[in-house]
Amino acid sequence: MPSTDEIAGAPVRELRMEGGAMGAMMSARADGAETDMRTLAGRGLVWALNGTAGMPEEPFAEIARGTVVRMALRNETAWPHGMHLHGHHFLEIDAGRAAALRDTTLVEPRETREIAFVADNPGDWLVHCHMLEHADGGMMTWIRVT
């Protein structure tokens, strides 16, 4: 696991959660094109990560093996999301201190939760809401560790 100094020196990658009932999402990218909310909803896509609903063609992040990664999981929705990272375990970061080792963390509405991990497992890894209806509704992305 990364040290406190390694975590402090790592750049932050923000993953923004959007959409859902009572959300302000007016559109999102789907299948490579900007799409209005009505069309997205007709396709069952009512959630997005960083403005993309559904699995993007390009990874959220390409990371060199051994790199310390910090991710700020920012929930801009009215619903909690259990965000899950495949292939790695992470530390929840609270006031600069590492907390429990996890692969899923609950991010409450309007909350930002920061996590950190060492990208030590090469491959393409899914990042998604573990509330599977939310993942199916568009809240999924992936990282590539090279």
pLDDT at 22 over 80: no
The three-class DSSP label of residue 111 is coil
Provide the pairing of β-strand 67-75 with 33-36. Answer: unpaired
Ramachandran quadrant class, 51 (left: phi over 0; alpha: psi -120 to 50; beta: rest): left
The residue count for the chain: 146
Ramachandran quadrant class, 138 (left: phi over 0; alpha: psi -120 to 50; beta: rest): left
Output the average pLDDT for the chain. Answer: 93
Angle at 36 between CA 33 and CA 39, to 5 degrees: 95
Which tens digit of pLDDT belongs to each residue from 30-39?
999 999 999 9
Residue 15 near residue 115, CB atoms below 8 Å = no
pLDDT of 77: 96
- Run of H or E including 38: helix 37-42
| pLDDT band with cut points at 50, 70 and 90 for residue 61 | very high
pLDDT at 95 over 70: no
Kindly report the CATH number assigned to the domain that includes residue 43: 2.60.40.420
Residue 19 near residue 41, CB atoms below 8 Å = no
Residue 63 near residue 103, CB atoms below 8 Å = no
Number of compact structural domains in the chain: 1
Q: What percentage of residues in the chain have a pLDDT greater than 90?
A: 82
pLDDT at 96 over 70: no
pLDDT at 100 over 80: no
Domain residues for 15? 4-145
